A and B are shown apart, each in its own frame.
Chain A
Amino acid sequence: MTVLVYFKANLGLSKVATEIVTYAKKIGEQVIVLTNGEADANTLAQYGNYGASKVLWDADTNTTDNQVLSRLIGSIAEQEGAKTIIFTHDNIAKAVAPRLSVKLRAGLVSGAVDLPNSEGLVKVNVFSGKANGFVKVSTENKIITLLPNSIQPEVTSTNCPVEAIKTDSGESAIKVLTTKKPEGEIPLPEAEIVVSGGRGLKGPENWGIVENLAKALGAATACSRPVADIGWRPHHEHVGQTGVAIRPNLYIAAGISGAIQHLAGVNGSKVLVVINTDPEAPFFKAADYGVIGDVFEVLPRLTEAIEKFKASSN
């Protein structure tokens, strides 16, 4: 069986891309990677290490437009005889995969967290992470979008050939005027460690202690909903049932009460650390490690301890 893996190229080796190539290799014999945009051929060849037999690289179609990409991916899937397509569950897949699902009559499983089980059912988070569902795809063609951090990338082979391709996937009906990307920040959904602040931080001027800890850990920053609503932090940092759902290896919650709607967006995290002055805060019930204390004292101390640890382990 041939499995097609799609991701938008970037210059480095992308961790989430190595995850989906590994995933594809575990469900199919032959894995073909399709990518587009600016990239480095030597880096692309490294996806062979994770199981790709070749990489098809369309450098000229440098877009994330969902209409153009669904034509590109659809035609390559047909040409290569791939009946299963794997994406990482990012904002590109959220737009492209549903289109392809209709175009190719391919049942779509979005936000998978595991390989298909022995009955071929794919596990996904439902009810904002409060439960898991097991999905059967009834069509011959299938599309799975995999949540980041759901599988460990595995090196099983060596570099593979990279074929430059030229395609005609048409024009985009949507005109991109500008793009705003904050420099140097780690995108929240991909971050392995997240430090998050709630109303207990008292005001936006106090976020330095959250940022310092994040910096020491190489972590992304997040916040609770009221914090984004009152404008202390940007909306894209709001995690929870009505914000971004994340599943990092480590989530550190500072001054957040742990309301059910907040937990819904973070309870997929492997390890939860909670810092709160109130021993009755509901977050402690969901936490792995708890510190009853004042964030203004605990966060700087924790930052210092992390820095000391990093310095000694280097």
Chain B
Amino acid sequence: MNILVCISKSPDTTSKIAFTDGNSKFDESGVQYIVNPYDEWYALVRALELKETLGGSVTIITVGGSSDEAVIRKALAIGADEAVRIDADPKDAYYTAIQIAEYAKSANFDLILTGKETINYNGSQVAGMIAEALSLPFVSLATKLDFSGSCFQLEREIVGGIEVVEVSGPVVVSCAKGMAEQRIPNMRGIMAARTKPLQIITAAGIEGQTLFVTYDLPPAKSACKMISPDNMDELVGLLHNEAKVI
């Protein structure tokens, strides 16, 4: 089974969020980048598990500049066989998805995996866009993924529950919690990652469809009002009269 896993970088979850250039750009100073947790913990690790039982290969792909190679090496250290970097600034989800779809057209993947969203833009957009661009079925928010016989069996999150589905490949799947457990790369993996193939591809000439023009930070919270643990009637009164939420 040949699997393509789409990887994005995202700021470490404890990063201080600030903006520069008149609030138009994310302030990257001092920010540590990680592989987006959904891409790493769920999509990549499940891809590796499938490869380990079924054979085949796992290719990771990212749209980004040369500074993204650290997160690419991390994904290779966890166990991916090879990597592709489309050399461009990922302008928006549409731009990113179309670049990946263009690459996937020329290769033969049975399965294309993404994380359910990135933790910086939280858009949940790229996977569905790749699927449409390639006219493939799309299983969103999958929490379980197996392959037997000639098709994939999946569980996915639907509004208010879980759906169990079956589909033949090729298929695009976005991965949510439940798929797999996080893997910590070992020394051997880290060494091997240095020499694994990394192909750099020129981007296709397309335009994005959306643009983040400015950002702002939510206003600071005013001080917390403390209530005695013996006086829950007071709390209920405040929630009703002051906060007006009950």
Contact = CB atoms under 8 A, between A and B. Distances in A.
A176 B165 contact: yes
Given A121-B214, A134-B215, A135-B213, A285 B160 contact: no
Interface in B111-150: 119-129, 131-133, 137-141, 143
Contacts of A111: 122-123
Interface stretch (B49-57, B59-67, B102-110, B237-245): B237-245
A236 B116 CA distance: 14
A137 B164 contact: no
Contact of A99 (B41, B129, B171): B129
A215 interface: no
A138 B207 contact: yes
B210 A108 contact: yes
A261 B119 CA distance: 10
B81 interface: no
A103 interface: yes
B124 A185 contact: no
Interface stretch (A47-55, A78-86, A202-210, A269-277): A269-277
Interface stretch (B10-18, B69-77, B183-191): B10-18
Contacts of B240: 309
Interface in A131-171: 131-139
Contacts of B239: 250, 271, 273, 289
B32 to A, nearest CB: 14
Contacts of A8: 159
B39 to A, nearest CB: 12
Contact of B159 (A90, A101, A177): A90
Nearest to B207: A138
Contact of A131 (B126, B177, B216): B216
Given A102-B97, A267-B218, A286-B221, A193 B245 contact: yes
Nearest to B208: A138
Contacts of A228: 177
A15 interface: no
Given A66-B128, A138-B208, A110 B232 contact: no
Given A90-B159, A306-B246, A180 B164 contact: yes
Contacts of B94: 101-102, 107-108
B158 interface: yes
A97 B128 contact: yes
B211 to A, nearest CB: 5
Given A110-B124, A291-B227, A136 B132 contact: no
Interface in B191-224: 207-218, 221, 224
Contacts of A306: 236, 246
A242 interface: yes
Interface size class of A (residues with CB under 8 A): 35 or more
A294 interface: yes
B128 A94 contact: yes
A91 interface: yes
A217 B246 contact: yes
B225 A288 contact: yes
A314 interface: no
A119 to B, nearest CB: 8
B129 A101 contact: yes
B68 interface: no
A157 B13 CA distance: 46
A261 B233 contact: no
Contacts of B178: 235
A184 to B, nearest CB: 11
Contact of B140 (A66, A172, A181, A298): A66
Most chain A beta carbons < 10 A, residue from B125, B157, B164: B125
B227 A290 contact: yes
Contacts of A286: 221, 224
B229 A297 contact: yes
B67 to A, nearest CB: 19
Contact of B93 (A108, A180, A264): A108
A133 B17 CA distance: 12
A14 to B, nearest CB: 10
Contacts of B166: 174-175, 177
B33 interface: no
Contact of A132 (B93, B127, B215): B215
Contacts of B216: 131-132, 134
A269 B93 CA distance: 27
Interface in A109-133: 109-111, 119, 121, 125-133
Query: Which 9 pairs of residues, A with B, have the shortest CB-CB distance?
Result: A98-B128, A293-B229, A181-B161, A107-B209, A95-B140, A305-B232, A173-B137, A102-B132, A99-B132
7 contacts: A106-B209, A108-B93, A131-B17, A173-B137, A176-B163, A193-B245, A290-B225
Given A238-B177, A274-B224, 16 more contacts: A96-B128, A97-B128, A102-B133, A108-B209, A111-B123, A129-B218, A134-B214, A136-B212, A138-B211, A174-B165, A179-B162, A242-B38, A270-B243, A271-B239, A291-B235, A309-B233
